[in-house]
Amino acid sequence: MFVNLLIILAASLLVIALFRHLKLPPLLAYMSVGLALGPGSLGWLQQHEDMPLLAEFGVVFLLFSLGLEFSLPRMLALRRVVFGLGSLQVLACTLPLAGLLHLAGLALPAALLVGGGLALSSTAIVTKELSSMGEVFSDHGQNAIGVLLFQDLVAVLLLTMIPVVAGGSEQAWYWALPITLGKAALLFGGLLVASRWLLPRLFHEVAQANAAELFVLLALVIVLLTAWLTHLLGLSMALGAFLAGMLLGESHYRHQIEADIRPFRDVLLGLFFVSVGMLIDVGLFASHGLVILGMTVLLLALKGALVTLLVRLRGGSNESAWRSGLALAQGGEFCFALVAQAQQARLVDGELGGLILAATFCSMAVTPLLLRAAPQLAARLGRQPDAEARAEDIAGACAEHEGHVLICGFGRVGQSIGRFLRREGIPFVALDNDPIRVQEAAAGEHHVHFGDARRGELLEALGLSRARLLVVAADNPQHALATVKAARALSAELPILVRTRDDSFLASLLEAGASEVVPEVLESSLMLASHALVMLGLPERRVQAHMDEVRRDRYHLLHGFYHGASANLLDQQGRPRVLLHAVNLSQDAYACGRSLAELKLSGLGVELQGVRREGDELELSGNLPLREGDALLLAGPLECIERAEARLLAGTQ
C-alpha cells in the first residue's frame, strides 16, 4: 500500500504539471496515471484491499464540501428537481440502455440492472468540475446536482438488487425500496437533530480554544463519523456526507470547515480517479477499440439527448437543457462497482463487462472537456432560439435608455457602483449570469437582466451603442477579458472601466481595449497608503498627486512584493506572481565593475527597480557601474529572479 501511494503521488505530480501546461483538467491527469500504471497496462500499481475505501473517501469529502454550499432551505427548494427530474432521468435512461444490453445477449433482469447502473452519472467528476467553474448554482448546475443526489439513492437500491436478481437473496425488490428510503429518512432525522443541538456547541467550544488543529480534527471526525454511520445503514457514504454538510451549511463555521477539509478532499479525490483508471484493461482498446468508441458515443448521445428532452419538457430553457444533458451524459463510478459484483454473480460475462467498463471510463474521461466546452456546444446544438428571445426581451426593456451605464456583473462591486449611480440620478442597466442573484435583484430593480456578458448580441440589446460607459465588474478575469473584446468589437469609442482582483490581467485587458483597469488589491493598498501619509501630516494635495501619479503609471510602483516562506507563488490563474527580491553584491560578485548595460538583466525577464549604495538611491542608467555593497532591487517571476541573481553573483545564465 505504501509503495502504491508513493508511485501514485509521484506520477500524479509529474502528469498534472504536464496537463496544466497543456491546459487540460487535472482530473484527466489522475485517470491517466491509473490507466497507464494500473494492472491492465504497465502493472506498476497493484490492487490493494484498502485502496478502494481510501479512494472513496475523496468522494465523501467532495460531497461534504458541496453540502456546505447547499443549506436546508435551498435543498427543499430543489425537491422537485431531486425527485421529479431525478426519477424521470433514471427511468428514461434505464429502459433504452437495458433494451440495448438485452439485444447484446444479457438476460432481461440483468440488462435492467446494468442499464440502471449506466443511467447513473459521475457524481465526483460533475460536482468537482461545476464547483471549479463556479456553476453549481446555475440552472444546469442545480439540475445536475439534484439528479445526482437522487442517483445516489438509486445506486444503493441497485446494489441490493444484485443478490435478488442472481437468486441469492430472500428479500424481494418491493421490500428493498421502502427499507432503503426508510434508512435514508432515519439518517436525515438523526443528522438534523445533531446539527441543531450538538454540533454548534462543539464548534463553539473548539473555536473558544483558539487551536487550529482542534478545528481541523473536529471537521475530519464529523466527515468520517457521518460516512461510517451511513455505511452501517447500508447507504452511500457520499450521500450521508452530503446530508451532514448540508445541515452544517447554515452554521457560522461553514467557511472555516470548508477551508480545513479542502486539502484532504483534493488529495483523496485524486486517489479516487487514479483507482478508476486502474480498473481498465488497456489491451481492450487495442482489440476492441472501435467497439468501445461506438459504445462511448452511443452512451453520451443517448443520455445527453434524453436529459435535454426532459429538462425542456419540464419548462427549462434551451441552453439550460443542453448544458444539463452534457453534464449528465457520462457513465458513473458506481457502474464499476455494479458491473464487478454482477460479474461475480455471473450475471455479466467477462468480455461484455470489460467493454462496458471501458466505455464508461471513456465517457467519464471526456466529461471535463465537455463541461468546459458546454457553452459553445449548447449554443450550436440549441441554435440559440432562447438566446435570441432573451436578447429581444432585453432590447425591448432597454429601448428607451440613452446615455446610460452598462454594468456587467452585478455582484458586490457592481451593486456598489449601482448605488452611487442611483444616488446621482444616472440611469444604468446591469447584466449578470447568476439566476438567483438576478431573481433577488429583480424584485427591487427592474433594470437587472440575466445573461452572459461575453455575448455581443446581449451587449447590443442592452444599448451598448447608446451608453456613456461600460463597467465590467465580473469576478472572473478571463470572462472580463472576453467581455472587453466583445464590447470593443461593437464600439471603438465607448469608455470601458474594468475591475479585477489583482494586476495579473492588467496588460491583457488594456491591450484588449479597456480604458481603465482598477485592481482591487492595489487600489486598497493606495487607499491605505494615502490615509497613512495624511495622518503623518503630509498635505492632502501632495498625497493626492502621488496617488494620481501611481494610477497614471498603471500601478507600476506597486508591482511585485517580497514573498515570505508561506506565500503562494502562483496567482488565481496558476501563473507565476511578480515578486520583489533584493540582491546584495559581495566582493567577488560577477557584477562588480560591470555596467547595467553589460549585464542585460531585462533579457532574463526581470525589471530592475532600483540600485541602492550606502543607503542612497542611485539614478538608473545603462552605463552605471556596479560595485561591492550595492543592493539591486529586482521584480519578476521567481524563476526569472533566480536566473538574474545567478548572473549578478556568478556570471552564469
Find out whether 467 and 494 touch, Cβ atoms under 8 Å.
yes
- Band (pLDDT 50/70/90 cuts) for residue 507 is confident
- Mean pLDDT for the stretch of residues 195-205: 78
Task: Quick: pLDDT tens for 217-252.
Answer: 888 888 888 888 888 887 778 777 878 887 777 666
Task: Quick: pLDDT tens for 87-114.
Answer: 999 999 999 999 999 998 888 888 998 9
| Residue 132 in this model has a pLDDT that exceeds 70 | yes
Q: How far apart are CA 20 and CA 377, in angstroms?
A: 23
- Mean pLDDT for the stretch of residues 240-266: 75
| Residue 51 in this model has a pLDDT that exceeds 90 | no
- pLDDT of the residue at 579: 76
| Residue 384 in this model has a pLDDT that exceeds 50 | no
| Residue 177 in this model has a pLDDT that exceeds 70 | no
- Band (pLDDT 50/70/90 cuts) for residue 292 is very high
Please state the separation of Cα 423 from the chain's center in Å: 37
Looking at per-residue pLDDT, the higher value among 69 and 426 belongs to 426
Strand partners, 110: none
Nine cell digits for residue 123? 457524481
| Residue 255 in this model has a pLDDT that exceeds 50 | yes
At residue 568, the 3 state secondary structure works out as coil
Q: How far apart are CA 358 and CA 291, in angstroms?
A: 10
Q: Among 359, 369, 334, which residue's Cα sits nearest to residue 280?
A: 359
Q: What are phi and psi of 447, to 5 degrees?
A: -100, 20
CA–CA distance from 601 to each of 508, 596, 609 (Å)?
24, 8, 11
Task: Quick: pLDDT tens for 52-78.
Answer: 666 677 778 777 877 776 666 666 767
- pLDDT of the residue at 387: 47
Task: Quick: pLDDT tens for 518-575.
Answer: 888 777 778 888 888 888 888 888 888 888 888 777 666 665 555 544 445 555 555 6
- pLDDT of the residue at 468: 92
Mean pLDDT across the chain: 81
For residues 494-532, one letter each, b for 16 or more C-beta atoms within 10 angstroms of the residue's C-beta and e for the rest, the string is bebbbbbebbbbbebbeebbbeebbbeebbebbeebbee
- pLDDT of the residue at 49: 64
Give the burial class of 435: count Cβ atoms within 10 A of its Cβ; 0-12 exposed, 13-18 middle, 19 or more buried.
middle
Q: How far apart are CA 641 and CA 354, in angstroms?
A: 52
Q: How far apart are CA 375 and CA 133, in angstroms?
A: 12
Class of domain 2-382: mainly alpha
At the second CATH level, the architecture of 385-514 is: 3-Layer(aba) Sandwich (3.40)
All residues at 6 or more sequence positions from 453 whose CB lies less than 8 Å from its CB, including other chains? 408, 409, 431, 433, 459, 472, 474, 479, 483, 486
| Residue 170 in this model has a pLDDT that exceeds 90 | no
Query: How many C-beta atoms surround the C-beta of residue 608 within 10 A?
Result: 18
Q: What percent of the chain has pLDDT over 90?
A: 13
Q: Among 235, 339, 231, 237, which residue's Cα sits nearest to residue 279?
A: 339
- pLDDT of the residue at 566: 41
Residue range(s) occupied by CATH 1.20.1530.20 in the chain: 2-382
At the second CATH level, the architecture of 579-650 is: 2-Layer Sandwich (3.30)
| Residue 12 in this model has a pLDDT that exceeds 50 | yes
All residues at 6 or more sequence positions from 1 whose CB lies less than 8 Å from its CB, including other chains? 48, 50, 51
| Residue 298 in this model has a pLDDT that exceeds 90 | yes
The terminus-to-terminus CA distance of the chain in angstroms comes to 43
Tell me the DSSP string of 582-630: EEE--TT-TTTT-BHHHH-GGGGT-EEEEEEETTEEEPP-TTPBP-TT-
Helix (H) or strand (E) holding 141: helix 139-166
Q: How far apart are CA 199 and CA 611, in angstroms?
A: 57
Find out whether 219 and 261 touch, Cβ atoms under 8 Å.
yes
Please state the separation of Cα 611 from the chain's center in Å: 43
Residue range(s) occupied by CATH 3.40.50.720 in the chain: 385-514
Residue range(s) occupied by CATH 3.30.70.1450 in the chain: 579-650
- Which strands form 579-584's sheet, in the order they lie side by side? 579-584, 631-636, 607-613, 616-618
Query: How many C-beta atoms surround the C-beta of residue 207 within 10 A?
Result: 15
